[in-house]
A and B are shown apart, each in its own frame.
Chain A
């Protein structure tokens, strides 16, 4: 079992829709969780981090964490073509170490 698992996609949604990205992790002791966005040929850009159960909202983005189910999700409301990218889920595993999932490719079509 991989430490962090994501559906590779691609996930395709129409412009204006809600995109839902999911991530599961294997270490029940994990404390903090991150979502990064990576455009082709660029480096990862931090979107959200969450460490408490429940929801955390920032603009069009909502991160949801359920530690009992070992599940993290990212919702993108009012999706735009500019949101088309690879979304990486990461779990902190000790000092300065993030363990990443393989990423979900999101395509938002006009």
Chain B
């Protein structure tokens, strides 16, 4: 079974720009969660989507948004990029029911200059 895929793997942007990251979950998984990982803050939860609905959200500003499509693929968008947005962005997929294991994709490394 294919794993979680994320595109692109690397991105370099400048301050003020916006960026869209994509995540394709494992076949049959309906939940996609997004995380930001930085050396200082570690892994932090951004939001979770299930059946095209956002069910949970972390403590990030409104510049961070996401959506999910009917095929469970998900995108996250960051507008008005700041230097501090440089991070590894990870998505994880799961079945979406209680106490499910989450499986992570390889991540997108975003650098903001």
Contact with A100, one of B31, B42, B56, B101 (Cβ below 8 angstroms):
B42
- B99 near A92 (CB under 8 angstroms)? yes
- B99 near A96 (CB under 8 angstroms)? no
**Contact pattern, A 35-56, Cβ under 8 Å of B = 1, otherwise 0:** 0100000111110010100000
Which among B43, B88, B98, B104 has the highest number of chain A CB atoms within 10 Å?
B43
Q: What DSSP secondary structure best describes chain B's contact surface?
A: strand
Complex CA distance for A100 and B92, rounded to whole angstroms: 14
Number of interchain pairs (Cβ within 8 Å): 67
- A31 near B56 (CB under 8 angstroms)? no
Contact with B94, one of A31, A90, A93, A96 (Cβ below 8 angstroms):
A96
- B33 near A96 (CB under 8 angstroms)? yes
Given contacts A43-B90, A44-B90, A98 and B42 within 8 Å (CB-CB) = no
- B42 near A96 (CB under 8 angstroms)? no
Chain A interfacial residues counted at CB < 8 A: 25
Given contacts A95-B55, A95-B56, A102 and B42 within 8 Å (CB-CB) = yes
- B102 near A98 (CB under 8 angstroms)? yes
Chain A residue nearest in CB terms to B107: A43
Contact with B42, one of A49, A93, A97, A103 (Cβ below 8 angstroms):
A103
B residues engaging A (CB < 8 A)?
31-33, 35, 42-45, 48-50, 55-56, 58, 88, 90, 92, 94, 96, 98-99, 101-107
12 extra interface residue pairs, beta carbon distance < 8 Å, beyond A43-B105, A96-B50, A96-B55: A32-B99, A42-B106, A43-B104, A46-B102, A49-B101, A94-B55, A94-B56, A96-B31, A96-B48, A96-B96, A97-B48, A98-B33
A residues engaging B (CB < 8 A)?
31-32, 34, 36, 42-46, 49, 51, 88, 90, 92-103
